[in-house]
Amino acid sequence: MKVFMLPSYQSRAPSTRMRVNKIADFFQKENQPVEVLPFDLSIEEKHKRLSPIQPTDILYVQKWRTEFNSAEHLIRYKGKCKIVFDLDDLTGDQQALGLIGISDAMVVGNHYLFKHYASYRKPIFLVPTSVDLSEYPKFKKEMKMSIGIAKCGLGPMIKPLLKLKEILHTLHSTYDCTLFLAGFNNANDKATAQQVFPFAKCYDLLTYDAYLKNTVPILQMCTVGILPFAARDNGKSGHSALANLGMGLPTIVAPYAECDYIIEDGKNGFIAKTPKEWFEKIEKLFIDEQLRQQFRQAGWMTIIDKYDVPVIGRKLLKHLKEI
């Protein structure tokens, strides 16, 4: 069996980097034949690279921003190999529906999608997003009181963040804390955040390598990380929460997407549902250094035990061999 992986986007994107490229590296270490087709190859070149495919082989397909990864182009491989569709959100668009239709099995990244597609007459495997702890620099020390948020494209978080305006201003006036916001890709969102939170330091969206090098060390030194997602999309993987745990950032999340499964309230982080809970739990971490250290250590252990690349790689390889 050889696994041909069709990534959805540039290798710098976190989801592709971890869900395809890092897993492929692990497969190679396990002597599992694998080939990742670069996302920017022409359609003709991709078909050429797939021409040796055999009935025992796996065509592992991600959907998103890649024209080739569609039923229109991949239908020719139906019956010639096993097609596995990696679906990491609940879009319901025609490209996703087409790939679901031709796939022999599906891989989903969270419990919500697993339950949603359980009635489909094909194997469905739950394989969470992985985290590579070796990419994060070693934690050194905390800076003065600070709150950090990192999200690839902060736009969807602006609205729930504004709902916390009053408590964040109260915390700032009480503890003289700084708010770090990393991941802006929209000038209007950035301007809004800077206007509403004059004590915030805002960082633009960077390539993933630049983010690891420049932004993560700042976030690691924060007193607490918050992820006040809007509870509107249960089809997401909770990758931002996993990244926070991987960098050792004491984290508070909203009960959003996969976060309920990643965070054990009071053990490796906090879950906050109301503005009152957000205030109380941020303040608790501000004043309890021992609890912050507990969350840092427990966060690392959560990744090591459940989400590190070798753990997820073994889980995915086991499922692929079952098809």
Mean per-residue pLDDT, 207-222 = 89
pLDDT for 232 equals 56
pLDDT for 176 equals 95
**Model confidence band, residue 5 (pLDDT cutoffs 50, 70, 90):** very high
Task: Encode pLDDT of 233-281 as tens digits.
Answer: 566 778 889 999 999 999 999 988 789 899 999 999 999 999 999 999 9
Backbone angles phi, psi at 137, to 5 degrees: -65, 160
Tally Cβ neighbours within 10 Å of residue 147.
26
pTM of the full predicted structure? Answer: 0.92
Average of per-residue pLDDT values in the chain: 91
pLDDT for 206 equals 84
Tell me the sheet residues that pair with 149.
181
Percent of the chain with pLDDT over 90: 67
pLDDT for 229 equals 79
pLDDT for 279 equals 97
Is residue 36 within 8 A of residue 48, CB to CB? The reply is: no
Task: Encode pLDDT of 289-306 as tens digits.
Answer: 999 999 999 999 999 999
Percent of the chain with pLDDT over 70: 97
Q: Is the confidence at residue 99, as pLDDT, over 90?
A: yes
pLDDT for 132 equals 93
Task: Encode pLDDT of 155-177 as tens digits.
Answer: 778 888 999 999 999 999 999 99
**Model confidence band, residue 222 (pLDDT cutoffs 50, 70, 90):** very high
What's the CA gap between 35 and 37, in Å, rounded? 6
pLDDT for 167 equals 96
Q: Which CATH number fits domain 3-130+309-322: 3.30.70.360, 3.40.50.2000, 1.10.10.60, 3.20.20.70?
A: 3.40.50.2000
Tell me the sheet residues that pair with 182.
150, 203
pLDDT for 69 equals 94
Least confident of 9-13, 50-54, 187-191, 244-248: 9-13
What's the CA gap between 280 and 171, in Å, rounded? 10
Least confident of 8-12, 44-48, 50-54, 58-62: 8-12
Q: What's the token pair of residue 129?
A: 């997003």
CATH topology assigned to domain 134-306: Rossmann fold (3.40.50)
**Domain boundaries, given as residue ranges, for the chain:** 3-130+309-322, 134-306
What's the CA gap between 179 and 172, in Å, rounded? 9
CA dihedral over 284, 289, 290, 291, signed as positive or negative: positive
pLDDT for 138 equals 81
What's the CA gap between 271 and 289, in Å, rounded? 18
Tally Cβ neighbours within 10 Å of residue 87.
23
- Greater confidence, 93 or 198? 198
Tell me the sheet residues that pair with 62.
86
Evaluate whether 3-130+309-322 and 134-306 have a shared fold: yes
